[in-house]
Amino acid sequence: MEEDDRPRAKGDAASKLAAEDLAPYSQDELGERIALLEAEIDRVKAHRDKVAAHRAAADALFSSPGS
């Protein structure tokens, strides 16, 4: 079974991160965490935009003329 064929795990990484206690982290560590999370947000947005553009191109290709 290929990795992409596997069912998704219950819950997601964002929920697990949101439940984590932040008290043990220093200000520097929190700053690093914020930078990593912002980079991940940018990566997810870029992927979302790529998927949307791909879908729009497919819709345009397969839509009936005059619609």
Residue 13 inside a domain? The answer is no
Residue 63 inside a domain? The answer is yes
Give the predicted TM-score (pTM) of the model. Answer: 0.69
Per-residue pLDDT of the chain in tens (67 residues, 90 and over written 9):
456 677 766 778 889 999 999 999 999 999 999 999 999 999 999 999 999 999 999 998 888 776 5
How many domains, in total, are found in the chain? 1
- With contact defined as beta carbons under 8 Å apart, do 25 and 33 qualify? yes
Query: What 3-state DSSP class applies to 24?
Result: coil
Residue 5 inside a domain? The answer is no
Residue 44: give the domain boundaries.
26-67
Residue 56 inside a domain? The answer is yes
Residue 37 inside a domain? The answer is yes
- CA quadruple 56, 58, 60, 63: dihedral positive or negative? negative
**Residue whose tokens read 């929190």:** 30
